[in-house]
Copies of this chain bind each other. A is one copy, B any other.
């Protein structure tokens, strides 16, 4: 979502990513990765008795998937800076498809080589609902880093 050096970014610029459907496999994998098997996410019978009547997708999974959909070009981005005001606005269910939408909120110069870009990052589903919202900050280069091909073309 950062597709240009710091000096070429403009407040208000918006982008939408490709989508990814959250499957039952993803939900089980996230229970497995974290070791957190709250019945809201892992017990169908329990989930029937709750407000939504079905298992919810974990907020943490929504966050890391939306983050990854954002993309991250190492030639432009020096480092991940931080996250603020992360809120889960609506539930995500198994079978929902998530997209990342970004808007450049603030641009702060940080010297000769970098600036901090703060994005409004939203997770949006196929019903056009915003499910997650946060401010996501990245340290962006002022010049694209030329990465030499790791295995030279002619010699390998």
Contact = CB atoms under 8 A, between A and B. Distances in A.
Nearest to A149: B16
A82 interface: yes
Contacts of A18: 37, 39, 43, 46, 150
B43 A74 contact: no
A146 interface: no
Interface residues of A, number: 61
Given A60-B67, A97-B45, A156-B101, A35 B33 contact: no
Interface stretch (A2-10, A23-31, A107-115): A23-31
11 contacts: A16-B149, A20-B35, A32-B33, A34-B65, A35-B35, A35-B68, A38-B74, A39-B74, A60-B68, A101-B156, A130-B156
Interface string A75-101: 000001111111110000001010101
